[in-house]
Amino acid sequence: MSLRKKLVSFSILSFFKLLLAVTSIICILLLIYTIWQGQPGTIVILLGKPTCVLVGFMSWLGWFWIHTGLHKSRKEIALFFGKIILLLFSLLLALVLGELTIRKYLRVTQGFNSLGKLKAMELGEQIQLKSFTPLAAIVHLSKNKNLVYELIPSLKREFGGKHLKTNSAGMHDSLEYSLNKNPSTIRIIGIGDSDMFGWGVEQFENYLAVLEKNLADKQGKNTYEVLNFAVPGYNTQQEIELLKSKGLSYQPDIVILGWCENDFNAPFFVYRKKEYRQLKKSYLYSYLFYRKGTVIQPEIMKVSELDSEFINPEIIDYTGPEGVKKSLLKLKQLGKEYRFKIIVFGAMKPVIIAICKAVNLDYYNILEEIPYDTYPREYEVYYMHPRAEGHRVLAEHLEKKLKTKGWLKKKSSKQ
């Protein structure tokens, strides 16, 4: 072979080797990024994770084969493939151990959903809470079986590394509010779950607290009070039940229902305990690639399994789209009876939008009203639990919406 042909052959081989190396690195980086985010990005969705893994591995294998030399003896080839088989066996063993570990982790951290244990805690039984943000540590069983549980009143503690306070009425608020309302005061009540509550942010960083501060800075003839009745884990039925049992006595002018997609679900603590033993499902795979929201697929207890000592079994009828629709019809009726304005606020998908339109309720869909490229991604504006910056954004948009509706000015008589 001439020198020129050797050079051309070497150049092609080097280019092919570089291409394989770049391909394998890109696939590895995509997988690392997906695992870090807890959900697949657009490119990974298009490629598919198994395809991405296979392409990355085959590219690395091709690069390694070229790098170590193509001209090998049979003994060297056998040794090479022996190393590959050993590598694959080690990887398989690591995956099996990882699967067993994640199953044990999920059983320990996700297994607490017993109303009986919640009652035992109230009676003084020492139960070890494994989670960094254990809901059981900030709620107690409610005497109202349609609520199931409520925030512990007059609570002051650290929760998820943040300061948490509740007032004597069990609101997520450091302030106390009188049942009597000043004639010039516009009182806003928020009912919702963990996103409105302010999961993972400081006491005054949730969007209702920010809204109250922003309105206080601009008040003229009117004063504003924003009461946060949100409770983590609540669904729409519980939120409206809490409004009926507590919120209405505070004479609201506006009620904001904070929407979250899990509001279609049953109340927290009424799911069947899972042991994570399905052989056809990889929980390690779900944890790595679908960590945000899909690791746990809870199973609602059958009505016959619910303990009537703690819960009204009929509230299961208020789950799903039809159940939410029935709840929103109740809310609309309460609005007419007690003369307050209503708006549903949050990241809303077509199903809940259709329900709001059918019930004829005002809504503000942040997925439509706030374009994705408007704010930095790390604000997590559209995520179930926004950062503090995300809450500030939500408060600003909510205030703008209320102002546009003309609800922030006191009228001589309610319409």
Q: 257 and 350 share a domain?
A: yes
Residue 299 within a domain: no
Does residue 357 fall inside a structural domain? yes
Phi, psi of 89 (to 5 degrees): -65, -40
Output the pLDDT for position 302: 47
Say yes or no: 197 and 248 in one domain: yes
Give the closest residue to 103 by CA, choosing from 277, 336, 294: 277
Q: Are residues 98 and 168 in the same domain?
A: no
Rounded CA gap, 90 and 99, in Å?
Answer: 14
- Say if 411 falls within a structural domain: no
240 within some domain: yes
Task: Please determine, for residue 323, whether its predicted confidence score (pLDDT) is greater than 80.
Answer: yes
Query: What are the tens digits of pLDDT across the range 129-145?
Result: 444 446 777 888 888 98
Residue 242 near residue 176 (C-beta atoms within 8 A)? no
Say if residues 361 and 342 touch (Cβ distance below 8 Å): yes
The pLDDT of residue 221: 75
Is the Cβ–Cβ distance between 189 and 250 less than 8 Å?
A: yes
The length of the chain in residues reads 415
Distance (Å, whole) CA 392 – CA 267: 28
* N-terminal to C-terminal alpha carbon distance within the chain: 95
Q: Is residue 47 part of a domain?
A: yes
Instruction: Write down the pLDDT at residue 132.
Output: 42
> Do residues 141 and 226 both lie within one domain?
yes
**329: which residues sit within 8 A by CB, 6+ positions away?**
359
Choose between 61 and 336: higher pLDDT.
336
Q: Which of 238-252, 294-308, 375-389 has the highest mean pLDDT?
A: 238-252
pLDDT band at 201 (very low <50, low <70, confident <90, very high): very high
pLDDT at residue 361 in the model: 97
Over residues 205-232, mean pLDDT: 91
Place of tokens 């080839």: 77
Q: What is the pLDDT of residue 305?
A: 54
Per-residue pLDDT averaged across 387-412, rounded?
92
Q: Provide the domain limits for residue 244.
A: 137-268+306-405
**Domain check: are 246 and 171 in the same one?**
yes
Greater pLDDT, 89 or 53: 89
Counting the structural domains of the chain, the total is 2
Establish if 157 belongs to a structural domain: yes
Q: By percentage, how much of the chain surpasses pLDDT 90?
A: 44
Residue 296, domain member (yes or no)? no
| 235 plus 336 within the same structural domain | yes
- pLDDT per position as a tens digit, 327-377: 999 999 999 999 999 999 999 999 999 999 999 999 999 999 998 889 998
Is residue 196 located within the same domain as residue 235?
yes
CA distance 383 to 294: 14
> Do the domain assignments include residue 345?
yes
Residue 413 has pLDDT above 50, yes or no: no
Is the pTM above the cut of 0.75?
Answer: no
- The answer on 367 and 222 residing in a single domain is yes
Question: Tell me, what's the pLDDT at 262?
Answer: 86
Task: Indicate if 220 and 183 belong to the same structural domain.
Answer: yes
- β-pairing, 223-228 with 185-191? parallel
Q: Please indicate, yes or no, whether residues 220 and 336 belong to a single structural domain of this protein.
A: yes
pLDDT digits (tens, 9 = 90+) for 141-198: 888 989 988 999 999 998 888 899 999 999 999 999 999 999 999 999 999 999 999 9
Does one domain contain both 167 and 96?
Answer: no
